[in-house]
Chains A and B, each alone.
Chain A
Amino acid sequence: MATMATAELKPSPRWRRARNVFSGYALILPALLLVGLIIVYPATRSIIVTLTTQADGSPAAFTLDQYTSFFTDTLSTTNLLYTLRVALEVVAILFLIAFPICLYLRFSKSRIANVIHFLTLFPLFVPGIVLAYALIRFTITHGMLASILAALCINNYTTPYLTTQGIMFGLVWEGIPFTTLILNAALIQIDDALIDSARDVGANAWQIFTRIMLPLIKDAVVIIFALQFLMILGSYTIPYLMGPAEPEMMGVFMQRTYQDVQNPVQAQTQAVVTFVIAALAGYVYVRTVASQQKGQE
């Protein structure tokens, strides 16, 4: 008589459960060790150095000198606020550009939609430095963009090269693929039936967007915001090549403090401050992903 598996399962023995837990940890141990050695340990050491070095460089048991000098130095606070401002503005512009594109891709199945889809992914294949030089050549005074605008009788063109607009131009271009990828994935999950039924009830496009779609893709929006904000906060190449000499974004500022001003402790302080702000964005991201996973269970 074959004993079919009954709905009632015997509880597995304790040793087997313990072995499963243990083997789980053992499998992730190498990766954990790597992260610990390469990231957590040096970062902790850096933080300790910034908390135990006084303003003149001598060691102390505990001191906030480095952070005091960071927050009282007008240049440092200007650069920090500048970085935050640029990051928030770039993320806002990314959403403004990505939403229309993604909504179009969601609802249109034409050939042109495929071309547009490919174009939104194209910046993924262009390395940052190549992009920077291409943008410089394109947007510089008497460059191609200036010529195009002049042909359209727009003559008061000033180049965004070496200004904040240049940084934003580059960072937006770089951020489009990632934003549209995630937004597309989120929008695809919205059932057509939901939209159709809303339309049947008489909702117009804007109401459908704000009342039906946005709440459903809330998690994806938060994830995009957190990750893009993080990436822009630490960006270096585009701000360095296309941005102004002052104010600088934190990545460029840190490199200059470390290498040219030859003040590694202050550079580490700047890094810790940036890290704290990034950690906030990271916390938001982790919370959202965790709640998403909980929702799926």
Chain B
Amino acid sequence: MRFGPRALKLALIGALVVVFLGVRAAQAQQTTTLNIYVDADTNITDWLSNIVKPGFEAKNPQYKLNVVIARGGITMTDVINRTMAAKQTGADPQVDVIEGLDPSNFTKESMDAKLWTTFSKDNIPNYDTLNPTINILPYGLPYRGSEVLIAYDSTKVPDSEVPHTFADLITWIKAHPGQFVYCRPDKGGSGGNFVVRAIYEANGKDPSLFTTTNYSDALAAKMLPPAWKILSDINSSIYQNGSYPAGNLPTLQLLANGSVSMITAWSDQSLEALQKGTLPSTIKLTQFTDLPMSGGYVYTAIPVNATHMQGALAFANYYISLENEESIVKDIGGFPTIKKEMLPKELQDLLGTALSDKAPPVWPGGSWDTAKNAGWYKTVATTLPPTETPAPTVVPTINPAATTAATAQ
């Protein structure tokens, strides 16, 4: 049989394709692919895919990262449930690392099922570099944090006047009417955590009084009204006689264009804005020294039945390494979780007094949040005349007039 030139060309191309695929397959077999699950916002997932992945793969060439974004239809709780089910049946969960969980996301079922690997110096070489006040969960590795702090214009607020305690801030607000603003507590965490700080201030600065399990309407009716008094007192000294923007970013914009000289803001949003230049460089950040405003740290977790345990631990170790923590501060404006003195001087200066050594309190949210928001709208933001006795700061289905009328009959 004689092959024409066309047949020879096809054979040549076919051979090249086979060789190419073979080489690729051989290459793929040399590296292990790790599945990292993340459900955070786009700024974090972009950072993971574009900065962390190349950095990790450069240091650990035998691994390749597969960033799985669990946003939208599927939630992290679904991923955790699937991993638990796989542990029971012995199947491959196809999960190596869960990149970041709030402490409240470690579901009770997963804790009961002992799903999580315990971290220590033995399996994570960088373990001791973590700040011990933040590293409080044995099964979670804190790698970044965010808290609400005070951002102020240093050209309008001289260093001597910068408030360092909540009481100082109240004095400053009353002395400079119209120069401070915070956003509505249900529309942005920067305003929400300021209201939380007022609640703590009104209750002896004791965050342990509020837990995820101790909410009751009666308790809220006792503990929240003194905070409303504090906030109503300063209502007329807030920007424009008590005008509250509808979110975190509008508040930052008010500070950026000079409408106000001091706001409460999220640390990551302000650090990012300062780096990008959307906040002028004259803006400085500070935090209360007596009790910081609330925030949270995000914890990396590894299930005990991770497909590639060695790779997962290598990734977790890299995640809290100095190189990655520097990237956290510079690229996404997060708070680092390693000891402050380990950071290079320029980053320590950038964080300044904003990063206190104390871990911030964690507000339980849930029913406490509902009561806090409803009460704020009813008693602080309202322009209703003060002679009206404020309705109790509970869900408004319970109308005292209706129930007393019902019982009187």
Once A65-B402, A73-B391 are accepted as A-B contacts, the answer to whether A246 and B397 lie under 8 Å apart by CB is no
Once A55-B403, A68-B402 are accepted as A-B contacts, the answer to whether A263 and B184 lie under 8 Å apart by CB is no
Q: Chain A: how many interface residues by the 8 Å CB criterion? A: 36
> A68–B258 contact, CB under 8 A?
no
Q: Which of B231-257 contact A (CB under 8 A)?
A: 240, 242-246, 250, 253-254, 257
B380-409 interface code vs A (CB 8 A; 1 in, 0 out): 011110001001000111110111000000
Q: How far, in Å, is B177 (CB) from chain A's closest CB?
A: 14
Please give me the 4 A-B residue pairs with the lowest Cβ-Cβ distance, nearest first. Answer: A162-B243, A245-B381, A141-B259, A69-B399
Once A55-B403, A256-B377 are accepted as A-B contacts, the answer to whether A69 and B243 lie under 8 Å apart by CB is no
Once A140-B254, A159-B240, A261-B374 are accepted as A-B contacts, the answer to whether A73 and B259 lie under 8 Å apart by CB is no
Give 20 new A-B contacts, CB below 8 A, not counting A69-B397, A75-B391: A55-B398, A55-B402, A66-B397, A75-B384, A75-B396, A140-B254, A141-B259, A143-B257, A161-B243, A162-B245, A163-B243, A244-B244, A245-B242, A245-B243, A256-B186, A260-B373, A261-B373, A263-B396, A263-B397, A266-B396
Residue A74 at the B interface, CB < 8 A?
Answer: yes
In this complex, the member of A72, A75, A143 whose beta carbon has the largest number of chain B beta carbons within 10 angstroms is A75
Q: Chain B: how many interface residues by the 8 Å CB criterion? A: 33
Once A140-B259, A261-B370 are accepted as A-B contacts, the answer to whether A56 and B401 lie under 8 Å apart by CB is no
Residue A49 at the B interface, CB < 8 A?
Answer: no
A residues less than 8 Å from B378 (CB atoms): 75
In this complex, the member of A72, A73, A245 whose beta carbon has the largest number of chain B beta carbons within 10 angstroms is A245
> A57–B397 contact, CB under 8 A?
yes
Residue A195 at the B interface, CB < 8 A?
Answer: no
A249-283 interface code vs B (CB 8 A; 1 in, 0 out): 00000001100111101100000000000000000
Partner of B401, one of A72, A143, A263, A265: A72
In this complex, the member of A72, A78, A261, A266 whose beta carbon has the largest number of chain B beta carbons within 10 angstroms is A261
Contact sample, A vs B, 12 pairs, CB 8 Å cutoff: A55-B402, A55-B403, A72-B402, A73-B399, A75-B382, A136-B250, A140-B259, A141-B254, A141-B257, A244-B381, A245-B242, A246-B382
Once A75-B378, A141-B259, A142-B258 are accepted as A-B contacts, the answer to whether A68 and B373 lie under 8 Å apart by CB is no
Measured CB to CB, the residues of A under 8 A from B are: 55-57, 65-66, 68-69, 72-75, 78, 136, 140-143, 158-159, 161-163, 240-241, 244-247, 256-257, 260-263, 265-266
A136 to B254, CA, bound (A): 10
A162 to B239, CA, bound (A): 10
A162 to B381, CA, bound (A): 12
A57 to B397, CA, bound (A): 7
Q: How far, in Å, is A67 (CB) from chain B's closest CB?
A: 11
Measured CB to CB, the residues of B under 8 A from A are: 184, 186, 240, 242-246, 250, 253-254, 257-259, 370, 373-374, 377-378, 381-384, 388, 391, 395-399, 401-403
A interface, over-half SS:
loop
A68 to B399, CA, bound (A): 9
A44 to B396, CA, bound (A): 23
> A245–B397 contact, CB under 8 A?
no
A143 to B259, CA, bound (A): 9
Partner of A55, one of B258, B374, B399: B399
A residues less than 8 Å from B398 (CB atoms): 55-56
> A260–B244 contact, CB under 8 A?
no
> A262–B395 contact, CB under 8 A?
yes
A residues less than 8 Å from B254 (CB atoms): 140-141
B residues less than 8 Å from A246 (CB atoms): 377, 381-384
> B396–A69 contact, CB under 8 A?
yes
> B250–A260 contact, CB under 8 A?
no
> A162–B259 contact, CB under 8 A?
no
A162 to B181, CA, bound (A): 12
Residue of B nearest to A166 (CB): B243
A residues less than 8 Å from B397 (CB atoms): 55-57, 66, 69, 263, 265-266
> B395–A261 contact, CB under 8 A?
yes
A residues less than 8 Å from B395 (CB atoms): 261-263
In this complex, the member of A74, A161, A163, A246 whose beta carbon has the largest number of chain B beta carbons within 10 angstroms is A246
